[in-house]
Amino acid sequence: MFRNVYLITFIYLFGLTTGLSAFSTNPTSFPKDTIKCDSLSIPFANILNTLILQSKWQESYQLIDQWKETCDATEINSRAAILVALSSGVKQEEAIKSYFQSDFHFVYKYRMQYSEDDLYQYYFQEYRTYFNYIPLRHPLDSTLCNIAKKIFSRTDLSNDEKLACKLFSGDFTSFEKESKKKKYINSYVRNFHNADKRYLASQKMGFQLFSGIYNSMDEGQYIGANPSLGIGLNSPIAAQWMFEFQIRCRIMQGDKKYNFVALGDNYLVDSKLGINLNINVMYQYSDIKNIFLYPKFGLGYEAIFTGVKIYNPIDEVTNSYDINTLHSNIGILILTPCFRKNYIGLEASYHYCPYRWSKGLKSKFNNNAFSLELIYRF
């Protein structure tokens, strides 16, 4: 009987909203089209909000079923269904999984964010279909947030139900903090949320830090094994082909002094620093169990600073004279995910630098080198 009263009320509201004088007294008979949903969704939300405030869970769930039969499952009626069911003591693990698998959590996130904006009415008109025809800042949103906060404090919830309630409370910062707790390590919601973060991060440019050993194959040991460190900028990792720009510094220590000529004068040089700037191209060869394999090739600029500086009295400037040449490399990069959206890996590369191209260098450097470096991409 209660159900019929609310259906009659619903029909009356619909008639006032649309100006229609007659139609079926059973909302489930309406076709699932956008015109009907646009007209019916607000009356559904208004009545549901009243029922929830009165803690009439059974009637609320019946009305949600009518809503879903009329307009299919949407973000807001699915969120309401989960919270109403939890309020009446019904477990909701599978419904929560379905909510996330349908990407409703993205709709909810944008709904809450746009609701806080002064232009919320504009955003609703622009994306009314995306927001299921329910205006932003509708009272039902506030009611559901309050219900979620109350349910979260209960001790009989599963980890997924706890995290879903924390999310539905509207405090995304608290949700992030809560989901990082160790007790949720096997939670479906946490793992799904982390996978989303990783996917979104993979669509963006990335930065990298790296450090390791750069070892010249120099028999004369003019250049030996030196520590290296650097930074890089990568194109999105989601693409099959990836491009990167790297700056590598080598701390040259324990190397032999070498002969260098500048303006006809010979210098015995003990270099302390070398750099190279490279543009690399990589191809994702395989992705097996979160192991990403990238063969790579690059070209760039090589410089070894000699410390030789000569003052030019005519131009009144001091000029530096260093070793400058081409830097090429070929190697392989292995990456694996770490934390929520970052990667860690190892890179092994062969480097070729034709040092004879630098006119001032008189000692014979070996043009070949290899490096082994630890990579952190974020």
As a whole number of angstroms, the distance between CA 120 and CA 113 comes to: 9
- Residue spans per domain, the chain: 2-201, 205-377
The per-residue pLDDT for range 324-348, each reduced to its tens digit, is 999 999 999 999 988 878 999 999 9
367 vs 20, 298, 302, CA distance in Å?
Answer: 85, 16, 11
Compute and round to an integer the Cα radius of gyration of the chain. Answer: 32
Q: What is the DSSP letter of 254?
A: S
Q: Are 42 and 133 in contact (CB under 8 A)?
A: yes
Instruction: Give residue 32's pLDDT band: very low, low, confident or very high (50, 70, 90).
Output: low
For 205-377, CATH number? 2.40.160.20
pLDDT value at residue 21: 32
pLDDT value at residue 220: 57
Token pair belonging to 303: 């410089």
Average pLDDT of the segment spanning 56-83: 95
The per-residue pLDDT for range 157-203, each reduced to its tens digit, is 999 999 999 999 999 999 999 999 999 999 999 999 988 888 888 88
Higher pLDDT, 286 or 261: 261
Average pLDDT of the segment spanning 124-135: 95
The per-residue pLDDT for range 101-114, each reduced to its tens digit, is 999 999 999 999 99
Q: Are 267 and 306 in contact (CB under 8 A)?
A: yes
Q: Are 67 and 46 in contact (CB under 8 A)?
A: no
**Average pLDDT, rounded, for the chain:** 88
Q: How many CA atoms lie within 13 A of 351 on its CB side?
A: 28
pLDDT value at residue 219: 60
Token pair belonging to 326: 């081409």
Residues of the chain above pLDDT 70, percent: 90
pLDDT value at residue 261: 94
Q: Which of 110, 28, 126, 39 is nearest to 75 (CA)?
A: 110
98 vs 82, 118, 179, 187, CA distance in Å?
Answer: 11, 32, 19, 14
Q: Are 263 and 309 in contact (CB under 8 A)?
A: no
Angle at 305 between CA 299 and CA 310, to 5 degrees: 130
Report the 10 Å Cβ neighbour count for 295: 13
Token pair belonging to 339: 């934390």
- Which range among 29-38, 77-86, 206-215 shows the weakest confidence by mean pLDDT? 29-38
